[in-house]
Structure 1
């Protein structure tokens, strides 16, 4: 997706705040159709150094020409932010933010897809108390099982950025490494569906949200005063 794809997008997004009905758009109370400042090449190279890999092209162009974060799908986009511990994505200016993600963690291999089968197999082997001779043996076995489950559960998040909070514990992630790099996946673990692909890359995902929001607001009439 070329730089020209983002031409005029910043003004279009900011202009939505003035449209009748804008405050009724889902997520607007979280981002208010505000966008953070755009980033420059020096900042992006520093971020990529911590990440250990180049940013997906469409997202990189977005950061350069639209904004570092703010208005976007659901409750808005997290913003890459430098700090003492390196770069991380944080909910700057958002009323409801996703979990922060460090660049170092996002630059690890993306393994959610590979771990899905392993997690399912582990769930099927959850210890039952009646299989053990004593309560103490069961507690030890369950503690070991639970520790492994938590390890695999958390490992699913590596190689991706928690980019946008959907509400009710669901989030949109952007994959940063491997063959799915630049793709948007959803964290649907609260409904036991794992981390799954949406079939969209960042550019398509963001522009679809913008175009849908513009269509929804086009038919809203100003409130009579």
Structure 2
């Protein structure tokens, strides 16, 4: 994985690929297994095996689809600069929502793609229980991994602007497909 990231960085030295200006094709060091154990104990959930293995063997945060992977704990993008927009704040708010008591232990409610009907009232927070925000795709879309319920380990895309929840692959396939892609550059 690190060799492929190095190749991606070599092919895109100006970080023109979507999100690369944020993660710059760099992964943080892996997280200590004891830290991941402590996270799981604190929130009362086991992390999906392939995600946990990634955290402890590959890297905790950084290079990945969209703006990259969030760290398990702490700020998503570091303290905001005065000259930057507030994208990091939205991501940190999304992570903070996940860490509320009972959110991660409540089973993820969906088994199929969801969009609200014309008269349906919904609460976004209720749709993402049992899942952990792990990345941001931009424009209010977050990547979540299910940690409790039927779909443990599956990636779901949560669009907050155009309310929708869409299932994706499991973590490993999601990350590897990004590594293997040759996404077009931004215009």
TM over 0.5: yes
Equivalent position of 1:24 in the other structure: 16
Unaligned 5+ runs, structure 2: none
Does the C-alpha gap of structure 1 residues 216 and 48 become closer, same or farther in structure 2, counting only changes over 3 Å? same
Contact 1:10 1:65 in 2 (8 A): no
What CA distance in whole angstroms lies between the structure 1 residues aligned with 2:151 and 2:134? 15
Q: Does 2:36 correspond to 1:44?
A: yes
Q: Which of 155, 159, 167 is residue 188 of structure 1 equivalent to?
A: 159
Residues 22 and 211 from structure 1, CA distance in 2 versus in 1: closer, same or farther, beyond 3 angstroms? farther
* Distance in 2 of aligned mates of 1:93 and 1:17: 22
- Residue matched to 1:102: 99
1:34 matched residue in structure 2: 26
RMSD, aligned CA: 2.8
Change (3 A) 1:103 1:80: farther
Give me the whole-angstrom Cα distance separating, in 2, the residues matched to 1:50 and 1:103. Answer: 11
Equivalents in 2 of 1:39, 1:21: separation in Å?
A: 27
Secondary structure, counterpart of 1:24 in structure 2:
coil
The alignment covers a number of residue pairs equal to: 171
**Which of residues 41, 51, 62 in structure 1 aligns to 2:54?**
62
* Partner SS state of residue 106, structure 1: coil
Give the distance between the partners of 1:36 and 1:103, measured in 2 at CA: 26
- Equivalent position SS for 1:124: coil
Q: TM-score, normalised by structure 2?
A: 0.77
**Gapped runs of 5+ residues in structure 1?**
1-8, 82-88, 126-148, 218-225
Structure 2 CA distance for partners of 1:103 and 1:175, relative to 1, 3 Å: farther
Select the structure that is richer in helix. 1
TM-score for both structures, normalised by structure 1: 0.66
Partner of residue 137 from structure 2, selected from 166, 169, 189: 166
Q: Is the 8 A contact 2:67 2:137 kept in 1?
A: yes
Cα offsets for 1:77-123 (capped at 9, x unmatched): 11112xxxxxxx64145985432232753332212459x69x64xx5
Corresponding residue for 1:207?
176
